[in-house]
Structures are given as C-alpha cells and as structure tokens.
Chain A
Amino acid sequence: MAFVKKTRYLLAPPYCSSVETFISPILSSPSEVPDGLKLAGGWRCFNNLRVLQKKKII
C-alpha cells in the first residue's frame, strides 16, 4: 500500500505529465470560513485543499 508523505511543496506542477494530481477540499463550517467556497451548494465550505501527487509510472 502507498505511503502518503506530508510535505510543504508539490512534486511537480498540478496535472503536468510526470505526475498524477488529485485534490480533496479541507472542509469547515460556513462560520469558520465566511469567505470560503461552498461545497456542492451544501452545508460545508473550503478555502484550502489537500493535494495528492504521485509520480506516473512510465
């Protein structure tokens, strides 16, 4: 199973040809991030993302 290492920098630019890029919103309540984006028009909001990157096997 893959091990997820938390780092400060991206492996490569998002969606470039050498990596696979996936995003996951970091969710909060609307009162915690009043300027945040609304998730799917629902009850949770986000400003930040978890970006997962994996080197492509060529």
Chain B
Amino acid sequence: MIEVQISTQEFLKAAKKHSNTSLTKAEFQINNLVNIRLPFAKLDMSKPHIMGVINITPDSFYKNSQIHNLNKLKKSYYEMINNGASIIDIGGESSRPGAEKVSIIEEKNRVFDPIKHLKNCKGASLISLDSRNLSTMKTCHKIGVDIFNDITAFKERNKIEFISKTASPIIIMHMQKEPKNMQISPKYSFAPIDIYKFFSKKIINLTEAGVKKSNIVVDPGIGFGKTLSDNLNLLKYLPLFHVLGVPILIGASRKSLIAELTIHDYKLRGKNKKKIIPSKRLSGSIAFAIHANMCGVQILRTHDVFETNQALICQKSLYL
C-alpha cells in the first residue's frame, strides 16, 4: 500500500485525465467529505458533542463508571449534563475484553428502572442504550430511549427491521469476534481500510433496509478486537471515515491502549512498570479526545465529561 499527499484539485485532475468514471467516483468521495451532516437525534453535527458513559454493571473495566443505585445515578447524570454532555450512554452488559454475555433478563433488570428514572428527570439530555440485544432495545424504546448503540453493528436482520420501523438513530460499532474472545489474535490487512470497507457495506445494507443515512453514526471500535498497532492506525487515519458521509464517534476513554503505550515508554527508559490501571489513564484519554476533535470527529464517548469538555474549550480557544 502506498500513501501520497496531494491537493484536492490535483487528485480530481488525475481522475479526470483517466476517465469520466474515475472523475465521478472522485467527486462523489469529495462531496461526501464536504456535505453538511444532517442533525443526528436532533443534535447539530457541525460541532463536537460529548457522550458520557454510565455503566449499570458490576464488572465494567473502569470501576468509577459503575453505578448501582438511583441516587448516585441521578447525581452522575446531572453532573455529566451540567459539564457538557449532550448524550448519556447507558449499558447493562460489560463489553470489556473477556467479558461473558449476561442474560437478557438480567440486562433489562439493570437498565430499565435507571433509564425510566432519567427520562423523567428535568432538563433531560439524550439517552442512548448500549446494548446488542433486540429485546432490550424494544423494551427501552417503549420508555423513550433516543439512540441505540450496538457493538455488533446491528448484525441481525430483525434488529435492522426494528430500527428501520421505529426510525431510531443508531451507532454502529466495528468489532472483530465477541468481547469474550476479541483480543485473541485479531487480524487485519490494514485496520483503517478493512474497517472503512466494513462500514461502507454496512451503510448500504442499512439504507437498503429503510434506515435513513442521517440516523447512522459509525464507531470504529477502538479496543474491540484490535492490537495496539491497529488502534493507533485507526486513530492516525480517522479522517478517512468522513468519506462514509456520516458522523463519527470515538471512544478511547480509559482504554488499555493508553496503558500499553505508557508501559512501553517505561520500558524504553529502562524502568519496570507492569500495570497502568484504568483510573490512571485520564491524561491519555484526553490526548486522544483532542486528537479526535482535530480529526473532525462529531461525538466523543468518555467517562470524564468535565475534563474532556474543559480540554475541548481550551483547544478551541487556540486553534479552531
């Protein structure tokens, strides 16, 4: 694979010189980059948004994101909204590497009351449900969930039919294999291109099934069935995904690649560091959030809404 840096004009000229078909394809791709994104779940996609994470689980990888009672839930929710979150992502099943599936009944029991409670709160923000189960999606749709966030990218036909019928905004994430085994030898020829192709096909499948393109957001799935090198390539080539013509979500918050990079740095300096726990990964999370913002990513998924928003404010004051 080769990479060439070239002006947009030169690129179009080279395509035109070859054939009209090439020119049409080149213009289509450039238009996808430039076209204004329609609002997603009524959110203006011409500016960045923060999605705060709340896990109603006993085993999510970052313990501070776990919430077990309604009072703490309400407190976290209002803190996140006040600190700048436009969306709150609520999940009842951990998808950390090695996590076992929980029963659908258990997942519903975990998320139903909290979501119902939050939907009745004043100044409600958008609620997204982080689930791969159709039955949980259907139940939560009835109590007003605004967005469905599926780590399996709505693989099953009946899920696609549901979201098409309900015209629900969705987030499709890329993952190789299942959380239980996703980190066992993930393989790509080149992760950014492989995942770009995956989303291209997926968007066609979804739109052919009646899902509006403006209801789709893509998440390349940092840490989901990827090596450190795959994750870094994805982050380096993030702008590639804008060619898909839909908004992008990135969630690198507190993930293990931050620990891997830090441990590697210790090693280079001849120091021994075996573990960097999730509570020690805030700075790395902010660095990747800033990078994603510079790449025009529309939604940043984070455990740390206040800190991420503050970083974006400071960055904006200098560069944007």
Contact = CB atoms under 8 A, between A and B. Distances in A.
A14 B14 CA distance: 7
A4 B48 CA distance: 30
A40 B18 contact: no
6 contacts: A5-B3, A7-B4, A27-B296, A29-B319, A42-B46, A47-B8
B26 interface: yes
Contacts of B29: 23
Contacts of A41: 34-37, 45-46
B225 to A, nearest CB: 14
B2 A53 contact: yes
Interface residues of A, number: 42
B190 interface: yes
Given A1-B188, A43-B296, A48-B5, A37 B193 contact: no
Interface in A26-45: 26-27, 29-30, 37-44
Interface stretch (B145-153, B177-185, B237-245): B237-245
A11 B2 contact: yes
Contact of B193 (A25, A29, A44, A52): A52
A40 B36 contact: yes
A16 B17 CA distance: 11
B11 interface: yes
Given A25-B239, A42-B298, A54-B1, A48 B15 contact: no
A15 B15 contact: yes
Interface in B187-209: 188-191, 193, 196
